[in-house]
Structure 1
Amino acid sequence: MRPKDKFDIKACKKIKDCNDEELIEMGEWLSGWLGDANFPVFSEIVEIFVERQDTLLPFVSNIFYSNDSICIYWVLLELYPKLSYQNQVALAIDLEHCLHNISEKLILDEDDENLKEILEKVLN
């Protein structure tokens, strides 16, 4: 049922029919597809996370504790705005943690600078 590759949109559509338990089992793996908006399956995966956000929110939260600034960037731009207000509020502490980690870096690359700017806007 999992996409075989970044072009397997058909498998993504089948995932939408999974029950919560099956979805939770795939949650970490699914969140890995949020790392690149250029993947053809990206928009389908975002849609799954939006439609089943209450079930998948812990996996979104985990992304903000990773060092993957590109994945965090895409989640903030493409997924986070589509979440319910309640779930956005629930993620606030995770976003603050992420901003703190970026701010603590001695040298920020361009991705970090962009991410910091987005996080500051989201949190204010």
Structure 2
Amino acid sequence: MAGDGGGAGEGGGAGGSGGGVVAPVICEMPHFTCSPSLQGRQVCVRGCVTDADCPATLACASDHRCRAKQCAADADCPENQACDVSDGACVRKACASDADCEGYCVLGTCEEKPGICFLG
């Protein structure tokens, strides 16, 4: 399944680099999992403090969760993403094959790395 390549994925940041500010622990459902043992269970991680605590394609929100970057146009978004002007956030571009992306087409969206399954 697809990931954002490093970091804890959308919603969970690596946390802790905010110049002495310590983010709270946040808990949520895993976003990408192949393991039935993790489905329906929350995972808890240190929340983000700054954008640097999130994967490069996400930004740190005020609730200490990594969320989609805000945008007004496609140029405001990272590679393999486009601006969804209806909600002002960057979203993964749709694809049919790797040729449609700067990286890989994974389950119909452009990703920087091939899909990964995490075993529980």
Normalising by the smaller structure, the TM-score range is under 0.3
Name the structure where strand makes up a greater proportion of residues: 2
Higher relative contact order (CA 8 A, sep 6+): 2
TM-score by length of 2: 0.25
Name the structure where helix makes up a greater proportion of residues: 1
